[in-house]
Structure 1
Amino acid sequence: MSKKAPVQKNDYIDGAYFEDLTHDGNGVTKVDGYPLFVPNALPGEEGTVKVVKPSKGYGFGRLMERTKESPYRQEPPCPIYRECGGCQIQHMTYEGQLRAKEKNVRDVMQRIGKLQDVKIHEVLGMEEPWRYRNKAQVPVGEKDGRFVAGFYQKRSHEIIDMDKCIIQYEKNDEVIQHVKDICQNLDIRPYDEKKHKGTLRHIMTRTAYTTGEVMVVLVTRTNELPHKNEIVEELVRNIEGLKSIIHNVNGKKTNVIMGDTTRVLWGEEVIHDRIGDVKFAISARSFYQVNPEQTKVLYDKALEYADLKGEETVIDAYCGIGTISLFLAQTAKKVYGVEIVPQAIADAKQNAVLNNMTNVEFKAGPAEVVIPEWYDDGISADVLVVDPPRKGCDEALLDTILTMKPKKVVYVSCNPATLARDLRILEDGGYKTTEIQPVDMFPQTMHCEAVAKIELV
């Protein structure tokens, strides 16, 4: 017989003590070991909680009164923070955020990875943890006859109209505002997802960190963009640094932002940016890190852990558009990069040419298929770098690593929980995790990246 929850809906819990934060920023309190997740509560705080949604293993509550406040609590500087779902922890000081992220990394390494003695460094944070995102993509809609654009309200598809987002580059705010004004003036209809009608679905804009080049992408439901000449004329006149205006068509009923058809309305197909000494061409569909300042911190750490002397063969699994591969190619003898998305590999090859790098080779396909093929062809890595998606490394890739036995593995992770899981597998297969460096790529959210240095014992 399953154990019944010790609380009922609408129960009040007095003296609730919050001991932790969830991955989406909710405070965690427990009633007889039963966890309740409560928004806007911080570790170390106490108060009265109303149970709003109990289920078998855990429940959700609402903080009715706070009787003890965390020293890391602050007033969120964003006026729409409470409604918007873009950030989770603006009500926490930046020092508190970094401490919470370090604790999260330590906890999952012990709980999931069973790694008791690995050296975990303090999180490398930002000097200025605002205005760091170089890319904005916002849905558009209509409210009271006005054209609106912004992020979705928490747990809904209601668009919160915004004039500015204080974690985005100011230039991106400016671009979005111009597009809103132009569409309002030209009576271009925003997309209605319930009726699957209207024209403009999303506005996406990118601003290059080092060059200041700007790209605007207009995503429409319809194949044609009404008044496109007027739109182009207005954007070119108003936006300094504009290099590219792209039209993307997505006619499907879907939550996916971009469709399959992309065409240049004005300017170039790409904008250019640099990370350190490496130059990148970034297209509308390219995956490119949204916090370039911290990306350099992350990649410098990966390069330090790889400790290349100039004679090594390196394999970069999940190489994307070649960002880490080209960083490594500066000091490696040869780098092989593999990525499942063919367009990303095309971008990676273009970026290698852009940087006059001839010691790097890219191939499209699943890492867990391509790397064993390379191994069978006699290509073996001295150092293997992985930068997988949130779900972590494919099991077959981990098996390949254990078969190939590179002397060193550098694991760049955007999810400490799956990093811990994969480290456990590598440790059981003969590797030792010597150190982990968390890096804060996304201030004001609970996300934390990390680089792990793993050596063959």
Structure 2
Amino acid sequence: MTEASHHTFTETDCPEGCPGCARQRMTTGQCLAEKLGFAQKTLAPWQPALAAPETAPEQRQWEYRNKVCLSAIHDGRVWRIGLKRRDAVIAVGRCRIHSAGVRKAMALFAGILPPAPSFPLVFYVQSNAQITLVIKSARIPDMEWLTDDVKNRLQNMGIEGLWLCLHPSAGHRVFAKNGWRLVWGRPRSMDTRGLVYGPTTFGQPIVELAEASLDRAEHFLNPVSGDQVMDLYCGIGAGLARWKKKTAPVTGVELSGESVACARQNAPGATVLRGMCRLRLPQLTAALEPKAPRCLVYANPPRTGMEPEVTQWLADTCRPEKMACLSCNAVTLKRDLTLLENKGYKIERLIPFDFFPNTRHLEILALLHRV
């Protein structure tokens, strides 16, 4: 089945000017080729180590995104939920990147929520079965719309938790630290791997591809009983849960408080420190086990890459035998790899993963060992 016949798009599905994906200007194959070309150019010093990309099956390259953070505005007639461009919101209610579940939930809320200013919605956030409505107010607005019928419809869609985030200064920052209210359902859900997650936790949308990247990392690191594993930027503990089954001690570091709570539940027995990795270096240094046969490191940093202090610590103090780093930014990955290579590490393999098909995003798993 060709790409064109597998998905029929209309102008309504793909609104003009939408910056969310590449569908309006290229095919899936062209999009991947463009991303790979940029990665190859950026990581040219290690071209021989660059492997073929790992991609999702064709049927999973559309309608896969079950985690979204979208702007919302009431135009005087209806709610528009989508991507903000300048002062406008481009509605993406029929976007084929989004899963059918996300589209249905968005349509439900767009149709039942009271208009602004009585319901000052600014962001619609969905993390699979958890939905958060971010309100630009310090007070809970009128909730008469949340009827038993609406609750039943949410339940039938597979939604398990509905939150309000009261955020009077919402704008550049999506969430407020306080002001969270669970208005229906339960506060946490469980993904297909049995991992607990919450409304603000991050996870890759194509679980089987995320698991494939962890398979690659685990095969390379090959943790065995007695090895020490450190998992930096550990999220909800998908990697921690693996390493804990293989060895002890295992230590993770994560900034998000909710992700830390989930990681402790998903990887019982692992030590999980909350905070920026660079601010937890004293604890990580104290946790180093000199008698452990090997120290291994897995890292999954944000787009800004590993903090410079962390990269320096890995190179000078920790000195793990092997490292696996999953990066979502080839530019910052190049910076980090250059420093580590200059400190005596060999970049053995660079494996691209197309976690977000038909978008500009590409992640790369870097596998390094100490020379």
> What's the TM-score bracket when you normalise by the shorter of the two chains?
0.7 to 0.9
Alpha-carbon contact 1:73-1:91 (below 8 Å) kept? no
CA distance in structure 2 between the partners assigned to 1:301 and 1:235 by the alignment: 43
CA distance in structure 1 between the partners assigned to 2:166 and 2:105 by the alignment: 20
Q: Give the secondary structure class of the aligned counterpart of 1:132.
A: coil
Alpha-carbon contact 1:89-1:446 (below 8 Å) kept? no
Q: Which amino acid aligns with 1:179?
A: F
Q: Which amino acid aligns with 2:111?
A: D
Q: CA offsets, 1:280-317, max 9 Å, x none?
A: 22211222223323222222222222122333210011
Match of 2:51 in 1: 121
Alpha-carbon contact 2:32-2:358 (below 8 Å) kept? no
Match of 2:90 in 1: 160
Q: CA offsets, 1:312-362, max 9 Å, x none?
A: 21001111222222232232333110123333322211222xxxx33x111
Q: 1:144 to 1:190 in 2, by over 3 A?
A: closer
- 1:133 is aligned, of 65, 69, 80, to 65
Match of 1:428 in 2: 342
What is the Cα deviation at residue 163 of structure 1? 3.2
Match of 1:249 in 2: 166
Match of 1:106 in 2: 40
What is the Cα deviation at residue 84 of structure 1? 1.2
Alpha-carbon contact 1:220-1:248 (below 8 Å) kept? yes
Q: Which amino acid aligns with 1:339?
A: E
Q: How many residues align?
A: 357
TM-score (ref. length: structure 1)? 0.72
Alpha-carbon contact 1:232-1:265 (below 8 Å) kept? no
Match of 1:204 in 2: 125
CA distance in structure 2 between the partners assigned to 1:137 and 1:363 by the alignment: 27
- 1:270 is aligned, of 163, 183, 188, to 188
CA distance in structure 1 between the partners assigned to 2:272 and 2:93 by the alignment: 42
Q: Specify which structure has the higher proportion of helix.
A: 2
Percent of aligned positions that are identical: 22
Q: Give the secondary structure class of the aligned counterpart of 2:323.
A: strand
Match of 1:92 in 2: 26
What is the Cα deviation at residue 229 of structure 1? 4.3
Alpha-carbon contact 1:232-1:245 (below 8 Å) kept? no
Match of 2:237 in 1: 322
CA distance in structure 2 between the partners assigned to 1:365 and 1:216 by the alignment: 25
CA distance in structure 1 between the partners assigned to 2:195 and 2:144 by the alignment: 29
Q: Give the secondary structure class of the aligned counterpart of 1:228.
A: coil
Q: Which amino acid aligns with 1:126?
A: A
CA distance in structure 2 between the partners assigned to 1:331 and 1:321 by the alignment: 18
What is the Cα deviation at residue 235 of structure 1? 2.4
What is the Cα deviation at residue 413 of structure 1? 0.5
RMSD, aligned CA? 2.5
Q: Which amino acid aligns with 1:131?
A: E
CA distance in structure 1 between the partners assigned to 2:15 and 2:216 by the alignment: 33
- 1:313 is aligned, of 228, 245, 250, to 228
Alpha-carbon contact 1:312-1:333 (below 8 Å) kept? yes
- 1:177 is aligned, of 107, 119, 123, to 107
What is the Cα deviation at residue 272 of structure 1? 1.1
Alpha-carbon contact 2:190-2:197 (below 8 Å) kept? yes
Match of 1:397 in 2: 310
Q: 1:297 to 1:377 in 2, by over 3 A?
A: closer
Q: Specify which structure has the higher proportion of strand.
A: 1
Q: Which amino acid aligns with 1:394?
A: E
What is the Cα deviation at residue 447 of structure 1? 1.0
- 1:258 is aligned, of 152, 156, 175, to 175
Alpha-carbon contact 1:221-1:249 (below 8 Å) kept? yes
Q: 1:442 to 1:78 in 2, by over 3 A?
A: farther
What is the Cα deviation at residue 144 of structure 1? 5.0
Q: Give the secondary structure class of the aligned counterpart of 2:43.
A: helix
What is the Cα deviation at residue 106 of structure 1? 1.6
- 2:295 is aligned, of 379, 382, 389, to 382
CA distance in structure 2 between the partners assigned to 1:341 and 1:216 by the alignment: 18
What is the Cα deviation at residue 430 of structure 1? 0.4
What is the Cα deviation at residue 438 of structure 1? 0.3
Match of 1:340 in 2: 255
TM-score (ref. length: structure 2)? 0.88
What is the Cα deviation at residue 377 of structure 1? 4.7
CA distance in structure 2 between the partners assigned to 1:76 and 1:391 by the alignment: 37
Q: Which amino acid aligns with 1:91?
A: R
Structure 2 stretches lacking a partner, 5+ long: none
Q: CA offsets, 1:124-157, max 9 Å, x none?
A: 112131011111232221235222222224xx23
Q: CA offsets, 1:12-35, max 9 Å, x none?
A: xxxxxxxxxxxxxxxxxxxxxxxx
CA distance in structure 2 between the partners assigned to 1:340 and 1:144 by the alignment: 39
Alpha-carbon contact 1:76-1:90 (below 8 Å) kept? no
Q: 1:256 to 1:415 in 2, by over 3 A?
A: same
CA distance in structure 2 between the partners assigned to 1:422 and 1:132 by the alignment: 31
Larger radius of gyration: 1
Match of 1:83 in 2: 17
